[in-house]
C-alpha cells in the first residue's frame, strides 16, 4: 500500500482536479462573462457610431454592409455568451467573427511600422479568444446558463 505525502506533487494535482470538477459550472460562467464582456464593450462602442465604423470597412478590404452588421453580431454575441443562450452556436459565429476581424483589422505583417506592435498584440489576443470560442463550443454553457434552464424538463 502506497501513501501519498500531503505535500507531494500528486496530492496537489488531485486537489487541483477536484477543484476544477467541483467548481466547473461556476468557472464556465465566469469564463463566459469575461469573454462576453469584451464583445459587449467593443460592440457597444461601434453601435454608438455605426456609420463611422462602417466607413472604415473599405480600408479593411471588406464590403460596407459588414460595418453595419458586425457591431450587432459583436454586441449581441457577447450578451448571448454572458447569459449562456445558444452558446455552442454563438461560439461558432463569434469564432468566424474573430477570424474575419483578425485577418482584416490586425494584419501586423502588412502594417505601417508604427502600428506593427499594436496589431501584433491584437492579432495574437484574438487567437487566444478563438481558443476560448473553441472551448465554449466543446464545453457548452455549463449549468448556470439559459441553455441549461431551457433543457430542464418540468
Mean pLDDT by 10 residues, the chain (154 residues): 57 85 95 97 98 95 95 98 98 98 96 96 98 97 96 76
Give the pLDDT score at 5. 56
Give the pLDDT score at 154. 67
Give the cell for residue 66: 459588414
Give the pLDDT score at 12. 77
Task: Answer yes or no: pTM beyond 0.95.
Answer: no
Exposure string over 27-56, b if 16+ CB within 10 A, otherwise e: ebbebbeebbeebbebbeebeeeeeebbee
Asked whether 57 and 100 are in contact (CB, 8 A), the reply is: no
Give the cell for residue 37: 464582456
Amino acid at each position: 500500500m502506497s501513501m501519498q505525502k500531503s505535500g507531494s506533487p500528486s496530492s496537489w494535482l488531485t486537489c487541483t482536479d477536484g477543484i476544477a470538477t467541483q467548481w466547473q459550472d461556476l468557472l464556465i460562467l465566469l469564463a463566459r462573462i469575461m469573454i462576453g464582456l469584451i464583445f459587449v464593450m467593443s460592440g457597444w462602442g461601434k453601435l454608438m457610431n455605426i456609420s463611422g465604423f462602417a466607413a472604415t470597412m473599405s480600408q479593411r478590404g471588406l464590403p460596407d454592409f459588414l460595418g453595419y452588421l458586425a457591431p450587432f453580431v459583436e454586441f449581441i454575441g457577447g450578451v448571448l455568451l454572458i447569459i449562456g443562450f445558444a452558446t455552442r452556436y454563438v461560439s461558432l459565429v463569434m469564432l468566424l467573427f474573430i477570424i474575419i476581424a483578425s485577418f482584416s483589422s490586425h494584419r501586423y505583417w502588412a502594417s505601417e511600422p508604427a502600428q506593427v506592435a499594436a496589431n501584433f498584440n491584437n492579432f495574437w489576443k484574438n487567437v487566444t479568444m478563438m481558443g476560448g470560442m473553441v472551448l465554449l463550443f466543446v464545453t457548452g454553457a455549463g449549468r448556470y446558463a439559459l441553455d441549461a434552464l431551457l433543457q430542464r424538463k418540468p
